[in-house]
Amino acid sequence: MFRASPRGPVRAAESLCVLQLTDTHLYAAPEGCLLGQNTGRTLELVLDLALQTLARIDVVLLTGDLVHDESPEGYRYLAQRMEALGAPCLWLPGNHDKASVMADIFNSGTVTAEGNARESAWNFVLLDSTIPGQDGGHLDSGQLALLEDSLARRPQDPTLVCLHHQAVPVGSAWMDTMALDNPEAFFGIIDRHPQVRCVLWGHIHQEFSTVRNDVQLLGSPSTCVQFLPGSAEFALDALTPGFRWLRLHPDGRFETAVERIATYPDPLVFSTAGY
Ligand SMILES: [Fe+2]
């Protein structure tokens, strides 16, 4: 059964149990729907599954597109739900987020933008890949410097780097027009720091996994609607919402998997041309 982590530092000898929730697309109104799905309801179902599935949660990662209508109410609701989990919660923004509203409401209590919220064997680096007013991603000089500095400060510690946008094409033409637009600069830094074990993103609303230069690259399903892998144009997938867990060992090894709820609570709206 689930137990909240004890407060305070995780001892370096322990493995870390990480829950990634991404692309929650919440609304101010509790009845708010994206493509026919009440995103608050699917989030609750995914959270229920996470609490049933995971023995414990040490860290929660929120990897962007958290609120669809930029409303303070949406962020407040999510912050309350994360506080209730009792574990440190780290966030970064996606293209649908309003970063200034997020920062005002998050960054108190257990929800924080600070990657290294607690001492652990693993270094978490959270990057902001958003471009104001655009859906695609970019890491500006400040974010690249943040990455470089964080990796230089902890050269011995296995590292998980998180951002919203995919850093490599995922094979879906419409979605790959909204990928990170300067992956060379990003991977140029990653390649100089062999302690990086994994890069993790949201945005693509589907499970994705590949390996580049011994670094695992992972994308994860949304807690609401899913996009069809390999589709040239926008298309929904009938796969259900879910979450990713990662178990990070102090020696740099890790395991990860995606878990999904059994069914959608409401019928999917397949006839839409986009979202
Ligand atoms: Fe999204």
Here the CATH number for the domain that contains residue 248 is 3.60.21.10
How far does the centroid of ligand 1 lie from the alpha carbon of residue 65, in Å? 5
Asked if residue 133 belongs to a domain, the reply is yes
Q: Helix (H, G, I), strand (E, B), or coil: what is residue 230?
A: coil
Asked if residue 200 belongs to a domain, the reply is yes
- The tokens 């949304």 sit on which residue? 222
Any idea how long the chain is?
A: 275
Q: Helix (H, G, I), strand (E, B), or coil: what is residue 102?
A: helix
Q: Dihedral sign, CA of 244, 236, 166, 116?
A: negative
Give the residue from 227, 215, 186, 247 showing the smallest Cα distance to 53: 247
Which residue stretches of the chain have pLDDT < 50? 1-10, 117
- CA geometry: angle at 130 spanning 115 and 261, to 5°? 70
How far does the centroid of ligand 1 lie from the alpha carbon of residue 61, in Å? 15
Q: What is the pLDDT of residue 34?
A: 92
Q: What is the pLDDT of residue 120?
A: 80
Asked if residue 274 belongs to a domain, the reply is no
How far does the centroid of ligand 1 lie from the alpha carbon of residue 77, in Å? 18
How far does the centroid of ligand 1 lie from the alpha carbon of residue 202, in Å? 7
Q: What is the pLDDT of residue 14?
A: 83
How far does the centroid of ligand 1 lie from the alpha carbon of residue 153, in Å? 32
How far does the centroid of ligand 1 lie from the alpha carbon of residue 1, in Å? 30
How far does the centroid of ligand 1 lie from the alpha carbon of residue 192, in Å? 30
- CA geometry: angle at 199 spanning 39 and 49, to 5°? 35
Asked if residue 124 belongs to a domain, the reply is yes
Q: What is the pLDDT of residue 270?
A: 79
Distance of CA 1 to the CA centre of its chain: 24
Give the residue from 153, 91, 122 showing the smallest Cα distance to 11: 122
Q: What is the pLDDT of residue 2?
A: 40
Asked if residue 275 belongs to a domain, the reply is no
Asked if residue 271 belongs to a domain, the reply is no
- The tokens 């209508």 sit on which residue? 69
CA-based end-to-end distance of the chain = 37
Q: Helix (H, G, I), strand (E, B), or coil: what is residue 142?
A: helix
**Which element (helix H / strand E) includes 139?**
none
How far does the centroid of ligand 1 lie from the alpha carbon of residue 45, in Å? 18
Give the count of domains, the chain: 1
Domain that holds residue 31: 15-260
CB 211, CB 27: distance < 8 Å? no
Asked if residue 267 belongs to a domain, the reply is no
Asked if residue 268 belongs to a domain, the reply is no
How far does the centroid of ligand 1 lie from the alpha carbon of residue 204, in Å? 7
CB 106, CB 88: distance < 8 Å? no
- How far apart are alpha carbons 223 and 264 in whole angstroms? 11
- How far apart are alpha carbons 275 and 236 in whole angstroms? 10
